Every structure is written in C-alpha cells, then in structure tokens.
Amino acid sequence: MSRVVDDQEQIIIALKLLIDKYSPEYKTSGNDYMKKYIEKSAVSVIKMEIEYITGKERKAKGD
C-alpha cells in the first residue's frame, strides 16, 4: 500500500534521512534546499508499506 504524506514534519524527517544516507557531505545545503522547496509545496513524499516480500534462498555449495 502507498500514500502521499501530508504531514510536513514527516516529510522533513524523510528528506533528512535521505540526505543523511545519500549526501551526508551536503547536509547543510541539502537542508536549506529542502526548506526552500517544502515551503513552496514543490516536494511530495510517498510512503510505501510493504505487505509481504518473496524471494529465493541461495543454498550453500555442497548441499
């Protein structure tokens, strides 16, 4: 299930986590950029809730 996040505080938390993970060296400029565009409502965050995951199991050699 997925939905658009409307709560501005949740949007800020999500964007800060993305900045921390993918661009920690640009934390200050990333935060400034984020604040600028959140105020203009130019940012959308979609929350996805994973209901189940499937996959294959890799067997060890010799089994």
Q: Strand (E) positions, 1-63? A: 2-4, 46-48
In a 3-state reduction of DSSP, which class is residue 38? helix
pLDDT value at position 59? Answer: 82
Residue 54 lies in a domain: no
Q: Give the confidence band of 63 by pLDDT, cuts at 50, 70, 90.
A: low
- Does residue 63 fall inside a structural domain? no
Kindly report whether the global pTM for this prediction surpasses the value 0.75: no
Question: Is residue 59 assigned to a domain?
Answer: no
Residue 11 lies in a domain: yes
Give the pairing type, strands 46-48 and 2-4: antiparallel
Please say whether the beta carbons of 18 and 60 come within 8 A: no
Give a yes or no: residue 8 inside a domain.
Answer: yes
| Residue bearing tokens 């800060």 | 16
In the predicted structure, residue 7 carries a pLDDT above the cut 70: yes
Q: In this structure, is residue 60 part of a structural domain? A: no
Domain that holds residue 16: 2-48
* Total tally of structural domains belonging to the chain: 1
Q: Do residues 11 and 45 make contact, with C-beta atoms less than 8 angstroms apart?
A: yes
Q: Give a yes or no: residue 33 inside a domain.
A: yes
Mean pLDDT in residue range 36-59: 86
